[in-house]
Chain A
Amino acid sequence: MIKTAQDMKSYKKQLKEALSDQFLRTALDNFYTAYRENRSAVYDGIDFESIKKEIATEKDGALPYLEDLYEEFKVHAETAGAKVHIARNAQQANEIITAIAKENNVKKIVKSKSMTAEETFLNDHLEKEGFTVTETDLGEWIIQLRKEGPSHMVLPAIHLSRHQVGDLFADVTGKKQNSEDIDKLVKVARQELRPTYLAADMGISGANFAIAESGSLGLVTNEGNMRLVTTMPRVHVALVGYDKLIPNLKTMLRILKVLPRNATGQAITSYVTWIKGAVECGASPSNRKVMHVVFLDNGRLALAKDPVFSPALRCIRCGACANVCPVYSKVGGHKYGHVYIGAIGLILTLFYHGIENDRVIVQNCINCQACREVCPVDIDLPHLIKKTYRAVLDQDGKTPAKNFILSRVMKNRRLFHFILRQAHLAQKPLARKGPMIRHLPNFFEKRHGFRSLPVIAETPFRDQWKHLRKHLVRPKYTVALFAGCAVDFIYPEHARALVTLLERHRVQVEFPKDQTCCGLPASMAAEEATARDLALQNIRAVQPEKYDYILTLCASCASHLKHNGFKIFKKDSDWLEKLKEFSDKIIDFSSFMVNVLDVSSEGIKATHKKVAYHAPCHLCRGLQVTTEPRKLIQLAGYTYIRSKDEDVCCGFGGSYSIDFPEISAEILKKKLDNVEDTPAELLVTDCPGCVLQLRGGMNKRGGKIQVKHIAELLAETKQ
């Protein structure tokens, strides 16, 4: 049975168990890297960005008409001899299927993989009613025998080793199995399950598509078990979510271009099958299959009308959002979802399985944007996860202390900055004059000690500014520096480096003094009202009309300021125009240097020092800036060294690394291991959050590689 944590304390215990499961860790780490490599190869020559937008538009277009599509499907399927049903909820679906089984004197049932049947816990229900149910998909069969839920939507048994499967099959067959030989283990399933199909009275399948205009189902599979399940027994029941309804074959063929590629890295699966109506069946006295299609609502029709959450229904269950998730890759699906796992699982669980199963897990998103980038139907998953968390908080009617303090403090810039200044004094004795705190005081828990922490600067950048500001005559550009809290209060030297550098390039820098936190931490805590308030404060403080660009050294601030404002302001807000001007002028450091200033390597004394690069999530995915920083490293006379998984999150995620330090530490470890595997002497990145995490981790492990912000690197070049 699925045991999803219902409170943070037991969740933390579960996470600890998962993190210490060595097999799981290796399996998921390997999968994480292999999936991303295979996927890019299989998309060769395919315009993923355009296709995903087209599919999203088609799916969205169908959502308001799901009930019409259902009627259309029903007419055509029933003309061809099927019977079509509606189940309003999971219980009803299970009861309808039980009634069909009883009506037809069914004893034995074979099943092919269906997430929808997992959603309704159909097997449990049928077994209680006295039916024998056998899962026939290899992975599903394995987990059924182990009485577990799937840990992945496409690879349900990915958490198990060949040895665990071998032992299980030895129990099933009563014969010892050679666990090293996976081919032989697969053949065990072939031999054991063959007679089961032949003896079954009823087959249950899901469907990937329900095509309204023809009343046919589309199924996408690899093993061949679904074909046997839908062919051999005299009764076939397909359990299908309303969200699988699509208008026509064209839409299905389009989705078929991305579903197998995203799910398993295949151009197409072994089998794609269309089933319509009651086909010929020799096992049935009438020589026609007894065919039923049950459409499950279970909240989908309400979701389809939801102005915020309806895009979640676009999901085609490819499972990719789990495959690219750094958190999933550390803890696995049993700890990263309820029935539906991965990013989409954190959202759908609230709607299909209730708040009690989502309350805790929904908080475990690091907001790295990897799922949003890979999603083949363009769902803004990280955004919807935060919206889901907001819905959880609202339903519970509670404000966690963190949220209360965050909102109170952040909205008042003077108070917020006062606290940051006080923090410097509080930290002073811990740092013992160095720039880092290596040993946290005892009132911190040990699990937070995976990285050294930087000291809050004695003089924040905002207080240094009046001495630094220079007035340039006829500058090439005038830019506003949006420092962000981390640069302003922890790393003012990054901003100083920038000012020096830009002066060389004749760029007039201004520092609008009333600027405050960008609002991302508030968004991350689902405090949207606070985030909106901060956005307004910043627009007023910066006055975008005065500048050519608004320059940031922080990828997270930049990405938040550029994109998220449009998500948190009302569509009719008076501020939209100003917001757009503000957003349009936001630029990150590397893009400004390369694309605006068009810097060259002329006159620079090359050191050829080897430099590795960490691509911040909010730069490479948030702003889609990928070539500029790498180019800039080379222009500055360094040798850029590629390391493995450069664009994978460093594990920081703002307050994530405080909420889930165990996971943050593991993600960081992998990142630093990858960098240390290269001959690099320096590690460079362009986000102060990443600098904090990487530098802290490197310091703690006593590593030799220096971590720098790319602006520091540039400022150090000798002319």
Chain B
Amino acid sequence: MPHSDFIQLMKEKAETVQAIVSKINHMEQAFRYTIDLTQKQGGKTVAATGLKPSESRLLKKACEASELELLEFPLRSHTHEIHTSLTPVDWGIAETGTLVIDSSSEDVRIATMLAETHIAVLPASKIKPDSESLEKELNAVLMADTPSYYAFITGASRTADIERVLAIGVHGPQELHILIVEEDSE
């Protein structure tokens, strides 16, 4: 299977679990997407992890221009007020539309757990066909002597605990947006 097929599979599988998937070419588009979506949903705040200092400054400026607040770290002091989170993704798993995120940093955990809307940025080159093909990478993290918190995220949080009716958005984010970055098309 050529890699472009995995990108397509990733998109399809993520969409079957109610993730909203778009393709972008660079980070600035992700910022625009984040701000537009937050405004559309009536949110006031954005939490972003994993950005370079220059990107962070850029996002802060853009947020301010749109009357949104880019929340400062540590996010634990903002647990009541995170509307949108924007986080990078380490890997994608096409077979199931899964995002793989090293969440050992508490800020990453809080951003991906407490936000109403989670926007995840996934480089197309990081999409693997299945979980087995990530075994080595994942095991390298787990086998290190340091503590770790590692996550597979597939779609928004969900339950079927009342009459087996599927409801999206229980305790975790109510929406999951995936932005696939296709660098080679730049």
B129 at interface (Cβ–Cβ under 8 A)? no
A31, A139, A271: the one contacting B161 at CB < 8 Å is A139
**Closest A-chain residue to B170, C-beta based?**
A223
Q: Which residues of A contact B79 (CB under 8 A)?
A: 198, 232
Q: How far is the CA of A158 from the CA of B152 in the complex (A)?
A: 27
A155 touches B113 (CB 8 A): no
Residues of A435-487 contacting chain B, CB below 8 A = none
| Contact indicator per residue, chain A 636-666, by CB within 8 Å of chain B (1) or not (0) | 0000000000000000000000000000000
Q: How far is the CA of A590 from the CA of B13 in the complex (A)?
A: 42
**Closest B-chain residue to A156, C-beta based?**
B161
List 18 extra interface pairs beyond A193-B171, A280-B106, A282-B106, CB under 8 A: A76-B145, A79-B145, A82-B147, A142-B162, A213-B143, A214-B139, A216-B142, A223-B171, A227-B151, A228-B172, A270-B17, A270-B157, A272-B98, A273-B149, A273-B151, A277-B148, A279-B147, A288-B147
- Give min CB distance, B161 to chain A, whole Å: 4
B residues with CB within 8 A of A: 13, 17, 74, 76, 79-80, 95-96, 98, 104-106, 109-110, 113-114, 131-132, 135, 138-139, 142-143, 145-165, 167, 169-173
Q: How far is the CA of A162 from the CA of B164 in the complex (A)?
A: 10
**Closest A-chain residue to B105, C-beta based?**
A280
Q: How far is the CA of A162 from the CA of B173 in the complex (A)?
A: 23
B76, B139, B147: the one contacting A283 at CB < 8 Å is B76
A222 touches B98 (CB 8 A): no
Residues of A156-188 contacting chain B, CB below 8 A = 156-158, 160-162, 165, 182-183, 185-187
A250 touches B135 (CB 8 A): yes
| Contact indicator per residue, chain A 274-310, by CB within 8 Å of chain B (1) or not (0) | 1111111111000011010000000000000000000
Q: How far is the CA of A134 from the CA of B147 in the complex (A)?
A: 27
Stretch from A13-21, A261-269, A341-349, A380-388 forming part of the interface with B: A261-269
A27 at interface (Cβ–Cβ under 8 A)? yes
B157 touches A224 (CB 8 A): yes
A355 at interface (Cβ–Cβ under 8 A)? no
In the complex, the number of residue pairs spanning A and B with C-beta atoms less than 8 Å apart equals 175
A231 at interface (Cβ–Cβ under 8 A)? yes
Question: In the complex where A27-B163, A81-B147, A155-B161 touch, is A223 in contact with B172 (Cβ < 8 A)?
Answer: yes
**Closest A-chain residue to B116, C-beta based?**
A190
Q: How far is the CA of A222 from the CA of B172 in the complex (A)?
A: 9
Q: Which residues of B contact A272 (CB under 8 A)?
A: 98, 151-152, 154
A270 touches B113 (CB 8 A): no
A27, A137, A256, A281: the one contacting B106 at CB < 8 Å is A281
Q: Which residues of A contact B135 (CB under 8 A)?
A: 249-250, 253
A214 touches B142 (CB 8 A): yes
Cross-chain pairs A/B with CB under 8 angstroms, 16 sampled = A30-B164, A76-B145, A157-B162, A162-B162, A182-B163, A183-B167, A190-B171, A228-B114, A231-B106, A249-B135, A267-B96, A268-B96, A272-B151, A274-B142, A274-B151, A280-B147
A224, A249, A264, A279: the one contacting B113 at CB < 8 Å is A224
Q: How far is the CA of A214 from the CA of B135 in the complex (A)?
A: 13
Q: Which residues of B contact A185 (CB under 8 A)?
A: 162
Q: Which residues of B contact A291 (CB under 8 A)?
A: 147
Q: How far is the CA of A250 from the CA of B142 in the complex (A)?
A: 12
Question: In the complex where A186-B159, A274-B142 touch, is A279 in contact with B104 (Cβ < 8 A)?
Answer: yes
B106 touches A223 (CB 8 A): no
Q: Which residues of B contact A4 (CB under 8 A)?
A: none
Q: How far is the CA of A213 from the CA of B139 in the complex (A)?
A: 10
A138 at interface (Cβ–Cβ under 8 A)? yes
